[in-house]
A and B are shown apart, each in its own frame.
Chain A
Amino acid sequence: MSDTILGVDGLSVDIATPRGTLHAVRDISFSIKRGETLCLVGESGCGKSMTSLAIMDLLPKAAKRQTRRLAFAGEDLAGASKRRINALRGNRMAMIFQEPMTALNPAYTIGNQLIEAYRLHRNASESEARERAVFLLGKVGIASAAERLGQYPHQLSGGLRQRVMIAMALMCGPDLLIADEPTTALDVTIQAQILRLLADLQRELGIAMLLITHDLGIVARIADRVAVMYAGQIVEEGTTEALFRSPKHPYTRGLIDCIPVPGRTVPGGRLGVIPGVVPSLVGDIRGCSFRDRCSFAQDICAQAPPMRGTTDSQSWRCILENAA
């Protein structure tokens, strides 16, 4: 299908640890259409970041990726050469990271770091690349962009650095942008700005975006589709509307109950809480990984839960037809 930009099929990430193999990502599948925003949500340690790094082939050495198919614009990258991956990375697929403070090289000016990928992938001259960099810095809302090119990362605030990172990711006009918790490390006031910027750019440039976050408030605002991850698996996936209107999986329900809603949440009242902690992902995991924290848990949950919901708008992994 030509309108699917990213098709992930059966992706697993295993990390060898002294205590055994940690199954960080367990056989997940999803796809993103051109121009679509998919949000991957879940608690810390549920495998969101590992998923994004696995797609970009940037996993740390200890982590091993397995996948049936990793299709980018119809091309299977599962067994692609390093050279081929490098030709796509930073060019047609780009990534923004969580930590803008450390994601830029302290030894080089931001201009130097901005033009690098463009010169490489587009064979552009330095002046062409600088022109493009100035244009994009303006686009991400950085004033007096031309002067900024000569500055070093340490001279910029966290918010500005993340804007630079966004501009850097957009240099070659990618088809897919992966943003791994791009606002988590920023001040709350800056978070909203950066998020709006990302959403606007995504719409304007028609880029497909995989946004990784643990903040459902963000999801409701900018996602077309949502995939909820729990303990390395996608437990529910669907359109933002369907998922927020009638969450089917008890975990999704729990997450949504944790968001304060103006008007409905009473000041001083209790917010929703999901009791317990994420289970260990080391060793074999049998049955539903959420059952220890689930108020609907039954004996049958010790067996692998079925995938329910055949429509494109919503599917979930639970023995219950409808938890809500």
Chain B
Amino acid sequence: MIGYILKRLGLALLVALAVSIIAFFLLRLSGDIAVAIAGEGAQDEDLRLIRQTYGLDRPLVIQYLDWLWQTIRGDFGTSIYFKTEVSKLVLEKLPTTIILGFSALGFALLISIPLGVLAAVYPNTWIDRLALGIAVVGQAMPNFFFALILVMIFSISLRWLPVSGSGTWLHFVMPTIALGYYVAPAFMRLIRAGMIEVLSADYIRTARAKGLPAGKVIFKHALRNAVVPVVALTAVQLGFLLGGSVVIETIFALDGLGYLAYQSITYKDFPVMQIIVLLLSVLYVLLTLASDIANAWLDPRIRVA
């Protein structure tokens, strides 16, 4: 198990490194940092000076290695737009995004597990159809559109929830629902398919033959086995929720990493963009690693060799 984890960890490091290289060069292709610093319409002389000062006139490979070395040492540079340290900026925004990511995940699981289980226990009935309908709507509707509908209902008509900002927990309610509902269908379908397969397994018949009540058969014996692939999906979706909250955070002006990413792209804030991309990719890789480990741990056939 330890060897397995170390091997996966090594692989994760390599992936993160590859992402950092790609992100660095792609961002450089997207625009000129010197122009971003000096502003549009700057004199050629100024641009040359800026390039010299920031070392932008060196070969890209050298610049990358320099940036990598700084980053590994924990020096993430300074934001061009906010004029503060990137590390401070990111650390400030990260909690909001993490709270939103986990609450959206929690919301998604909260609706998808019961719906998925119900759909599997009563396949091809109105319950199944209803669950399928909810899933189709969730998957088909763009989340920004759903977010706007929520705003119209709960903020403008009912005046229950604030439209935007990130001051109180109330500010998180709509973003959580909008983001969570978007990923819930994937969970629901996986749980339904897994449950239908598991419910026809021999060991479910054994459990029923013991006289166990239906609830125990479904939740102890079936769900435990159906949930294994869900764990893998959870990690991937959490990565999506953390990285993909750009749209939702922007709509609700929720002051998190996604909103910061949106701002840094708008203002061509290269140091900030670079770190956010790297941070999100590292998070993604770590979450995938966590899911692999969790999967191994959940399946005794892997855990207890």
CB of A99 within 8 Å of the partner chain: yes
Partner of B300, one of A94, A154, A165: A154
Determine whether B72 belongs to the interface, using a CB cutoff of 8 Å to chain A: no
Q: What residue in chain A is nearest B199 (Cβ atoms)?
A: A61
| Residue A282 at the chain B interface, CB threshold 8 Å | no
Q: Which residue of B lies closest to A85 (CB)?
A: B211
By beta carbon, the residue of chain A nearest B203 is A105
Query: CB distance B202 to A99 under 8 Å?
Result: yes
By a CB distance below 8 angstroms, the chain A residues around B201 are 102
Q: Which of A90, A151, A154, A155 contacts B212 (CB 8 A)?
A: A90
10 other A-B residue contacts (CB within 8 Å) besides A88-B211, A116-B207, A152-B300 = A58-B208, A82-B214, A90-B210, A103-B202, A106-B300, A107-B221, A107-B299, A107-B300, A108-B224, A117-B210
Contact across chains for B211 and A97 when beta carbons are under 8 A apart: no
A56 to B212, CA, bound (A): 13
Complexed CA–CA distance, A298 and B298 (Å): 63
Q: Give the complex CA separation of A96 and B89 in angstroms.
A: 64
The listed residue (B210, B221, B301) touching A89 by CB distance below 8 A is B210
Q: Are A155 and B304 in contact (CB under 8 A)?
A: yes
In the docked arrangement, what's the CA distance between A168 and B203, Å? 13
Q: Are A117 and B211 closer than 8 Å at their CB atoms?
A: yes
- A 114-144 binary contact with B (CB < 8 Å = 1; else 0): 0011001100000000000000000000000
Question: B300 and A102: CB pair below 8 A?
Answer: no
Taking the complex as formed, is B28 at the interface, i.e. its CB lies under 8 A from any CB of chain A?
no
Q: CA A151 – CA B201 in complex, angstroms?
A: 21
A56 → chain B closest CB, angstroms: 6
Q: How far is the CA of A85 from the CA of B214 in the complex (A)?
A: 12
Q: How far is it, in angstroms, between the C-alpha of A220 and the C-alpha of B290 when the chains are bound?
A: 57
Q: Does A87 contact B (CB under 8 A)?
A: yes
Q: Is residue B209 contacting chain A, with contact meaning CB distance below 8 A?
A: yes
List the B side residues contacting A154 at CB < 8 Å: 300-301, 304
Whole-angstrom distance from the CB of B218 to the nearest CB of chain A?
Answer: 13
Chain B residues contacting A58 (CB-CB under 8 Å) are 205, 208-209
Q: How far is the CA of A40 from the CA of B209 in the complex (A)?
A: 20
Partner of B207, one of A85, A87, A91, A105: A105
- Indicate if the CB atoms of A89 and B202 lie closer than 8 Å: no
The answer to the question of A195 belonging to the interface, with a C-beta cut-off of 8 Å to chain B, is: no
Say what secondary structure dominates the interface of chain B. Answer: helix
- Measured CB to CB, the closest approach of chain A to B58, in angstroms, equals 57
**B209 CB contact (under 8 Å) in A82, A95, A106, A152:** A95
Flag whether B213 is at the interface (Cβ < 8 A): yes
Which residues of chain A are within 8 angstroms of B295 by Cβ–Cβ distance?
A: none
Name the one of B203, B205, B207 contacting A106, with C-beta atoms under 8 angstroms. B203
A104 interface residue, CB < 8 Å from B?
A: yes
Please determine whether A97 and B225 come into contact, CB atoms closer than 8 angstroms. Answer: no
- Tell me the bound Cα distance from A121 to B213 in angstroms: 11
Q: Is the CB of B301 within 8 A of A106?
A: yes
A86 touches B (CB below 8 Å): yes
* A94: B residues at CB distance < 8 A: 209
**Nearest B residue to A82 by beta-carbon distance?**
B214
Query: Which of these, B202, B299, B300, B304, contacts A97 with CB under 8 Å?
Result: B202
Q: Which residues does chain A contribute within 8 Å of B298, judged by CB atoms?
A: 107
| Bound Cα distance A99, B212 (Å) | 20
Do residues A89 and B211 form an inter-chain contact, with CB atoms below 8 A? yes
Chain A nearest CB: distance from B98 CB in Å?
30
- List the B side residues contacting A104 at CB < 8 Å: 203, 206
Given contacts A86-B211, A117-B211, contact A152 B304 (CB under 8 A): yes
CA distance A94 to B211 in the complex (A): 9
Contacts of A7-45 to chain B: CB distance below 8 A: none
Residue in B211, B212, B214, B301 with the greatest tally of chain A CB atoms within 10 Å: B211
Q: Check if A56 sits within 8 Å of B210, measured CB to CB.
A: no
Q: 10 interchain pairs (CB within 8 A)?
A: A56-B209, A87-B211, A95-B209, A97-B205, A97-B206, A103-B202, A105-B206, A106-B301, A107-B298, A108-B224
Report Cα–Cα, A58/B207, bound state, in Å: 11
CA distance A97 to B209 in the complex (A): 10
A97 CA to B207 CA, complexed, in Å: 12
How far is B197's CA from A102's CA once the two chains are assembled, in angstroms? 13
Q: Indicate if the CB atoms of A105 and B211 lie closer than 8 Å.
A: no
> Which single residue of chain A is at the shortest CB-CB distance from B303?
A152
A58 to B212 Cα, complex, angstroms: 12
The 9 closest A-B pairs by CB, nearest first: A90-B210, A89-B211, A90-B211, A117-B210, A102-B202, A105-B203, A152-B300, A86-B211, A95-B209
B213 touches A86 (CB 8 A): yes
> Which single residue of chain A is at the shortest CB-CB distance from B228?
A107
- CA–CA, A107 and B194, complex, Å: 15
Closest A-chain residue to B204, C-beta based?
A105
Chain B residues with CB under 8 Å of A168's CB are: 206, 210
* A152-B301 in contact given A103-B202, A103-B203, A104-B206 (Cβ < 8 Å): yes
How would residues 262 to 305 of chain B score, 1 for a CB under 8 Å from any chain A CB and 0 otherwise? Answer: 00000000000000000000000000000000000011110010
Question: What is the distance, in angstroms, from A116's C-beta to the closest C-beta of chain B?
Answer: 6
Q: How near does chain B come to A75, taking the closest CB pair, in angstroms?
A: 15
A264-295 contacts to B (CB < 8 Å): none
Chain B residues near A88 (CB, 8 Å)? Answer: 211
Which B residues touch A103, using CB under 8 A?
202-203, 205-206
Beta-carbon contact of B209 and A102 below 8 Å: no
Closest Cβ of chain A to B196, distance in Å, is 12
Q: Roughly how many angstroms separate A56 CA and B211 CA in the complex, as a whole number?
A: 10
Q: Which residues of A contact B304 (CB under 8 A)?
A: 151-152, 154-155
Task: Knowing A103-B203, A106-B300, A152-B300 are in contact, say whether A86-B224 is a contact too (CB < 8 A).
Answer: no
Tell me the A67-84 residues at the B interface (CB within 8 Å). Answer: 82
